[in-house]
Amino acid sequence: MGPIENEEKLDDVMAYYKTIREALSGLTEIVNINFNEKDFYHAAAIDNLKALHDNIVEVLKSSFTPREIRIRLRELEFNEKEAEIVFPL
């Protein structure tokens, strides 16, 4: 696979990652709304969501170089912060 093809594949993967991260954030909000922070189910759900996120990142790291992933994640975080300024909640 050439550099351009690898770059396109990484772009696709990062788009999927962004969607997954947004879904995990939404699930975290649902858990926070529906369970008291001291509740066992709250802690268990948050732990599982964090583990899921961490495993997704590990899969990405095994597929691409850490540098490629870091660059894309920084871009994604910057875009989200910029969107929050333009479209405040």
Distances (CA, A) of 80 to 29, 38, 54: 17, 30, 19
pLDDT digits (tens, 9 = 90+) for 7-44: 788 888 888 888 888 888 889 999 999 999 899 999 99
Distance between CA 60 and CA 63 in Å, rounded? 5
Distance between CA 76 and CA 82 in Å, rounded? 10
| Neighbouring C-beta atoms of residue 5, cutoff 10 Å | 9
Q: What is the DSSP letter of 87?
A: S
**Which three-class secondary structure state does DSSP give residue 74?**
helix
pLDDT digits (tens, 9 = 90+) for 49-86: 988 888 888 887 777 777 777 787 787 777 666 555 64
Report yes or no on whether pTM surpasses 0.75. no
- Structural domain span for residue 49: 3-86
What total number of domains does the chain contain?
Answer: 1
